[in-house]
Structure 1
Amino acid sequence: MPITPAQLAQVHHLLDSRNHSHREIASIVGVHPSTICRIQHRDRPLLPKHGGGRPAKLTERDMRYGKRLITSGKVDTATQLAKELSKTNKESVSAATVRRHLRKAGMRAVAVKKKQAA
C-alpha cells in the first residue's frame, strides 16, 4: 500500500523536528520503520543521524564545573574530581568516566616535572 501525500508530509515534519526516532514516527504515521528510513535517505539526506546509545552520565554543565575545579587548583586528580561531582550530582561517577569526559573535552594528563635539589 503506497504512502499518501498527507502521511509523507507528516513524516517530513516529524523528521525535521528531530524529536522522534524512526520507530516512533512509524507508529504515529502508521507505516513500517524501514519506510521512514527510506524517506529520510531519499528526501532528507543531510539530516544528522541519531546519536543512539546510553545518555551521558555527565552533562556539559558538570564538565564546565569540573574543568573550573581543575584549572583553579581545587582538585588535582580525576579521582578527586569524581568524588566532588558525585557530591554535587547525588549520583556516583567513576574516575574513568571523568577521565573519558575530560579527554573528550580536550584536556589531558600531564606529569609534573620534579625540581632539582640545590
Structure 2
Amino acid sequence: MRSLSSTQRNTILTMLDSGHSASSIASSTGLHCKHFTILRSKEHSSLQKSTGGHPSKLSPANVCHAIHLISTQKAENAVQVTKSLTNIINQPLHPNTVHQHLKKTGMKAVVK
C-alpha cells in the first residue's frame, strides 16, 4: 500500500467525519476503500461504521398495528397480518417480513 499525502489524508478524514460512505469517498478521491478502513481504525476508531442495507418496509406504527391485530385476535398469524398491512401501506409485503418484526418485539409462535 502506498503512503497517502497529507492532503489526501485530511480529505479522507473530513469526508469520514461528515458521514460519507467508503464508496462515495473512493469515487471522489480515486483511492481504494482499504485506505479508508485503515485510516478510520487508526485515527478515528470512535466513528461508527455504516450499517448499510435498506430501510425497513414496516414503520414502528405498522408493527404496533400488527401487534394490535394479533392481541385483539383480529388476526391469528403473520399471513393474516400481512394481508391487512398490505392494504394499509400499498406495498408488496412478505409474511416473513411481518414475522421477523413481530419476533423482534418479543412475540413468539404458539402451538394451538
TM (normalized to structure 1)? 0.72
Give identity over the alignment, percent: 31
**1:8-59 Cα shifts (integer Å, max 9, x gaps):** 23322322333x3211112223322211111111112233333334543323
TM-superposed deviation, 1:98: 0.9
Number of residue pairs matched by the alignment: 111
Match of 1:13 in 2: 14
Residues of 2 paired with 1:106 and 1:99: CA distance? 11
Letter of the 1:48 partner, please give it.
Q
Residues of 2 paired with 1:15 and 1:65: CA distance? 38
Match of 1:33 in 2: 33
Compared with structure 1, are the counterparts of its residues 92 and 40 closer, same or farther at alpha carbon in structure 2 (3 Å cutoff)?
same
Q: Which moved more, 1:97-106 or 1:60-69?
A: 60-69
TM (normalized to structure 2)? 0.75
TM-superposed deviation, 1:3: 2.8
**3-state SS of 1:110 partner:** coil
Structure having greater relative contact order (Cα 8 Å, sep ≥ 6): 2
**1:83-104 Cα shifts (integer Å, max 9, x gaps):** 1111112112121221122112
Question: Who wins on radius of gyration, i.e. which is larger?
Answer: 1
Compared with structure 1, are the counterparts of its residues 82 and 48 closer, same or farther at alpha carbon in structure 2 (3 Å cutoff)?
same
Letter of the 1:103 partner, please give it.
K
State the 4+ residue runs in structure 1 displaced beyond 4 angstroms: none
Residues of 2 paired with 1:16 and 1:63: CA distance? 33
Residues of 1 paired with 2:79 and 2:15: CA distance? 43
The two structures, once aligned, show a CA RMSD in angstroms of: 2.4
